[in-house]
């Protein structure tokens, strides 16, 4: 079985980027579009092949897609989308929302554990999507909170992926820092795009950074952004509209949110660390399609819970275990690495890395290496907040 195609794709990407830059330098719009399209497609393939860089590759793919769309027609817009300031006093922000669009291919099946939470979000999404009498007011926003790496982003992406909705992925901190002073226009532009591309899921990550930075100059911007965001959320609540725009927001530090924010998110769902069964499911997802029948999943599941692993930690364990397996199964290559390193890219491409079954040793070694960054105090704080303010 061939397990790594990413090398070829990176080479292809580099080549296409070079050709794109040449075309751009020559003002050759047709080839600009052509190679931007190749870059977009290659980034999408890389997103599939290199799961740990998935988000970064999808972001880049979205930017290339935008260049394909706008090349030749609105050069200034393309600059804003790439995050560069054009220097014009009157900036055009209409394209900002578009630049946050991500392609989500995540489905509910890609998420291990969290069964109840998945159904809760599914329910909200379905109610929001169904045609309904005016008297039934759907939720417009949900707050997801809990320790980092537990699948909050993943849940939002799955909601968008399953609905085939447009997925806007917004990090508040980057809105605040990058576009200092213009942030409120960006929020307005974001929701305009969301309306234009409905059904839309707007995912607002790091919601806490709005509240955290309310002092000083940055504080002024934060307050305005917050006011605009809340107005957008309120607006949707009241306006009679059959367009589906659902705002999911996430924070790792819910205690830093203030009442104004909390009151807009009556649904506040705790995303906890995975229990034993969930750990096992997550490991299965992240080792698929490899053979794990030699691994004692009872023991591994227990160890993962004891070590306070998040979904992200489990993903790292799987990746580490797969590396050990790759070295074991391809001894001929790894014992010979210095000679292999002399080969050209073309020669390397002719050889194939094999994949074999994962064993217990692969996992116990990986578990010994990977430590959760969480302390018992961190977890208690989350659980206490959930008891007091969590609501579904």
Ligand X SMILES: Nc1ncnc2c1ncn2[C@@H]1O[C@H](COP(=O)(O)OP(=O)(O)O)[C@@H](O)[C@H]1O
Which spans of this chain sit near ligand X (rule: CB under 6 A)? 111-114, 148-154, 250, 282, 285, 311-312, 315
Chain-centre distance for alpha carbon 267? 21
Contacting range for Mg ion; rule: CB under 5 A; set: 54-62, 145-153, 192-200, 344-352:
145-153
E strand spans, the chain: 101-102, 141-145, 166-171, 200-205, 245-251, 267-270
Residue with CB nearest Mg ion? Answer: 153
- Output the DSSP codes for 97-134: HHHTEE-----GGGS-S-HHHHHHHHHHHHHHHS---T
- Output the DSSP codes for 152-163: HHHHHHHHHHHH
Of 290 and 340, nearer to ligand X (C-beta) is: 290
According to DSSP, residue 254 is labeled G
Of 72 and 373, nearer to ligand X (C-beta) is: 373
Of 97 and 112, nearer to ligand X (C-beta) is: 112
3-state DSSP helix/strand/coil percent for the chain, to nearest 5? 60, 10, 30
Residue 63 site contact among ligand X, Mg ion, none (CB < 5 to 8 Å, cut-off depends on kind): none
Contacting range for Mg ion; rule: CB under 5 A; set: 52-60, 148-156, 186-194, 314-322:
148-156
Compute the least distance from the CB of residue 350 to ligand X, in Å. Answer: 32
Contacting range for Mg ion; rule: CB under 5 A; set: 32-40, 79-87, 150-158, 367-375:
150-158
Residue 285 site contact among ligand X, Mg ion, none (CB < 5 to 8 Å, cut-off depends on kind): ligand X
Q: Distance between CA atoms of 325 and 320, rounded to whole angstroms?
A: 9
Q: Select from 161, 199, 147 the least CA-distant residue to 314.
A: 147
Contact track, Mg ion, 233-252, x by CB under 5 A: --------------------
Strands 101-102 and 166-171: antiparallel
Of 111 and 128, nearer to ligand X (C-beta) is: 111
Of 285 and 305, nearer to ligand X (C-beta) is: 285
Compute the least distance from the CB of residue 297 to ligand X, in Å. Answer: 15
Q: Is residue 173 at the binding interface for Mg ion, with CB under 5 A as the rule?
A: no
Residue 315 site contact among Mg ion, ligand X, none (CB < 5 to 8 Å, cut-off depends on kind): ligand X
Residue 282 site contact among Mg ion, ligand X, none (CB < 5 to 8 Å, cut-off depends on kind): ligand X
Compute the least distance from the CB of residue 249 to ligand X, in Å. Answer: 11
Compute the least distance from the CB of residue 99 to Mg ion, in Å. Answer: 19
| Size, binding site for Mg ion by CB under 5 A | 1
Q: Distance between CA atoms of 12 and 219, rounded to whole angstroms?
A: 44
E strand spans, 12-107: 101-102
Compute the least distance from the CB of residue 31 to ligand X, in Å. Answer: 35
Of 316 and 330, nearer to ligand X (C-beta) is: 316
According to DSSP, residue 135 is labeled T
Q: Distance between CA atoms of 82 and 319, rounded to whole angstroms?
A: 32
E strand spans, 207-351: 245-251, 267-270
Compute the least distance from the CB of residue 358 to ligand X, in Å. Answer: 17
> In the sheet where 141-145 sits, what is the strand order?
101-102, 166-171, 200-205, 245-251, 141-145, 267-270
Of 97 and 113, nearer to ligand X (C-beta) is: 113
Of 32 and 271, nearer to ligand X (C-beta) is: 271
E strand spans, 147-281: 166-171, 200-205, 245-251, 267-270
Q: Is residue 153 at the binding interface for Mg ion, with CB under 5 A as the rule?
A: yes
Compute the least distance from the CB of residue 245 to ligand X, in Å. Answer: 21
Of 114 and 244, nearer to ligand X (C-beta) is: 114
Compute the least distance from the CB of residue 66 to ligand X, in Å. Answer: 23
Compute the least distance from the CB of residue 152 to Mg ion, in Å. Answer: 5
What does the CA dihedral 181, 183, 260, 116 come to, rounded to 10 degrees?
-150
Q: Distance between CA atoms of 377 and 386, rounded to whole angstroms?
A: 14
Residue with CB nearest ligand X? Answer: 311
The residue ranges that bind Mg ion (CB under 5 A) are: 153
């Amino acid at each position: 079985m061939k397990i790594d195609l990413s090398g070829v794709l990176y080479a292809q990407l580099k080549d296409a980027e070079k050709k794109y830059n040449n075309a751009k330098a020559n003002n050759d719009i047709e080839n600009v579009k052509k190679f931007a399209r190749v870059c977009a497609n290659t980034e999408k393939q890389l997103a599939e092949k290199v799961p740990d860089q998935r988000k970064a590759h999808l972001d880049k793919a979205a930017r290339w897609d935008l260049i394909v769309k706008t090349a030749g027609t609105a050069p200034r817009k393309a600059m804003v989308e790439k995050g560069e300031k054009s220097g014009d006093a009157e900036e055009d922000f209409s394209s900002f929302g578009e630049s946050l669009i991500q392609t989500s291919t995540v489905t509910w099946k890609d998420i291990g554990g969290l069964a109840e939470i998945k159904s809760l979000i599914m329910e909200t999404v379905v109610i929001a999507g169904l045609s309904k009498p005016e008297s039934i007011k759907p939720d417009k926003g949900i707050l997801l909170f809990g320790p980092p790496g537990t699948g909050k982003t993943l849940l939002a992406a799955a909601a968008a992926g399953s609905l085939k909705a447009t997925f806007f992925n917004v990090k508040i901190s980057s809105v605040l820092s990058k576009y200092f002073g213009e942030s409120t226009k960006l929020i307005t532009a974001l929701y305009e795009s969301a309306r234009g591309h409905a059904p839309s899921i707007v995912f607002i990550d790091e919601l806490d950074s709005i509240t955290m930075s309310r002092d000083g100059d940055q504080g002024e911007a934060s307050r305005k952004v917050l006011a605009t965001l809340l107005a957008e959320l309120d607006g949707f609540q009241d306006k009679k509209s059959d367009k589906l725009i659902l705002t999911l927001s996430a924070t790792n530090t819910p205690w830093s949110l203030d009442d104004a924010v909390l009151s807009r998110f009556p649904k506040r769902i705790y995303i906890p660390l995975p229990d034993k069964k969930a750990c096992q499911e997550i490991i299965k997802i992240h080792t698929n399609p490899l053979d794990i029948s030699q691994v004692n999943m009872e023991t591994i599941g227990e160890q993962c819970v004891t070590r306070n692993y998040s979904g992200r930690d489990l993903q790292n364990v799987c990746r580490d275990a797969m590396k050990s397996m790759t070295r074991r199964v391809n001894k001929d290559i790894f014992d010979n690495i210095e000679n292999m390193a002399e080969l050209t890219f073309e020669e390397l491409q002719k050889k194939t890395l094999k994949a074999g079954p994962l064993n217990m040793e692969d996992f116990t070694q990986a578990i010994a290496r990977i430590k959760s960054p969480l302390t018992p105090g961190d977890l208690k704080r989350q659980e206490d907040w959930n008891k007091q303010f969590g609501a579904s």
